[in-house]
Structure 1
């Protein structure tokens, strides 16, 4: 059996808001070579890192059917990018793999392999990956959630007939997805969502009329505007129903000047991921995506940041929806604000709870 080297990772500063199963992050996990060719290189880095780091197979190839055991360092998080380079000139890449959910990561050629070509320096260089994501099994009509399954949860909202918008990380790696509408009906998702990992957006088809489509704001958003969030944070701990919070648009860009996101002061928690960010007229201006990890920042700076959260901009969501065949509803927002309670009542029928089973 291969040895278990200790890996070092950067401290994460963002927290995704899908509610994951609670497992210790520093427990070992295994990467299995489920191919017919030996692997000459294995790379495992925290998701979002700009390079692949060193080759972990420094003591020899990983035989077909064999596994390599790794123990992440403390604070490395649950999300890893993995790369397996085979002797026959192919590689397998799996991004945003949740090792807290599944301690055995199977690397297989099915739908995941990319040919590699030699570069001038003799190192393998992968060809561009196909744009389409590998399809995952859908859920048969009438199927019900499995209460014994490992599951995470998030929020979504209706953007068209039977179409629900959420975050990519809410539905990534799911074997089955269910949508619970505002009227209490649970709708199985019959096919793999359309996803954009860069924007962290996904479009879920949920036949059965999950609710009316929300309108997106047509005019630009200004810094300092009041906003409302609506979603399902900390499912099983807080209320089983949706939760409303209020705040402002703090900045017109996200972490590290990310121009695809807003920074907001409205409080959000795990489970809010994929929920709508609304102006005070009830129109969508963004999609809740993440919060700053206050504990990690406090460890590094000695100061605890207050209500630093992020949402994908509505303009990015509109472009994603149009590219996937959805014609969103657009509406101008007049100057007069409505109460947060009125906004919540307006969006309630269109906001859904999402369950991801693995």
Structure 2
């Protein structure tokens, strides 16, 4: 299915305000099947980016990062740049290759930026410059895998001592002992050059329900270094501890009143053992900590970052075509609202404590860190 058909499907769904996400725990059943025909491919993405660039009449600039390198399987990385303002915002999607609907949301947003003359869009484009990466992991997307496969200098898959292909999670490859994949170094170099002020990372997650309800969570809002956790309060004298919560609360306010959206805080674990992540090896964690790998970021530039987690993925066969429109649209609306809030400064006016007070979450048992669980202390 082409991107244009998908967007028509999205519009039809949302004009009817169908409450498809308000279901029994676990969300809508797909009987273990995911229709890949409805998922945008790497080649589709390139075509749509070029179309958006052309129809935008100069608003949207599309280019590759070939000067920095290509993927493990020698594919180009595509970036779309839009806006002329001083607030630089990094938006990345599909760092995990089986988390595909995030790419559709970024493309829809770019299409809006390139074609709409509304006052809110004009404000965003005047005050911000957006660097959008619709598909961080093209190899994984084509293989429909979370990870990607490492290759040797001859272009052949690297294997371990058991003869198995060596794979890597690109979202755990920004670190002093990381950068095993070509993808990681390319995007890190580009990030260090751009020096964004904010970043947003789009993901998918498994099915769960909003605490205290029977509603299937459609999106979770998260920070990879847990607010008020072991790490974030010490960065920039607590500035990012507030900013990341303000960003998420602003998105929550924008989405909470839609009947088909059920938003909560991102947590791992199950039962009465729920944890917030404090993962220093993550890409956006490295952004917040100002990682200087190989002296590529000598000024230790850093920026606050949050992530969205949409329910379902294609690896486990638990995305239903009927729900795709809602899931794409919630990312689109959340992103659009956040960008407007950052452009206007409204985000910084939000009470950050509403993160704990109002966004639904299970009782917190501790923090999931790179070295294990750290119990919460009250």
Asked if Structure 1 and Structure 2 have the same fold, meaning a TM-score greater than 0.5 normalized by the shorter chain, the answer is no
Looking at secondary structure, tell me which structure has more strand per residue. 1
TM-score, L = length of structure 2: 0.25
Tell me the TM-score normalized by structure 1. Answer: 0.26
Which of the two has greater helix per residue? 2
- Greater Rg by CA: 1
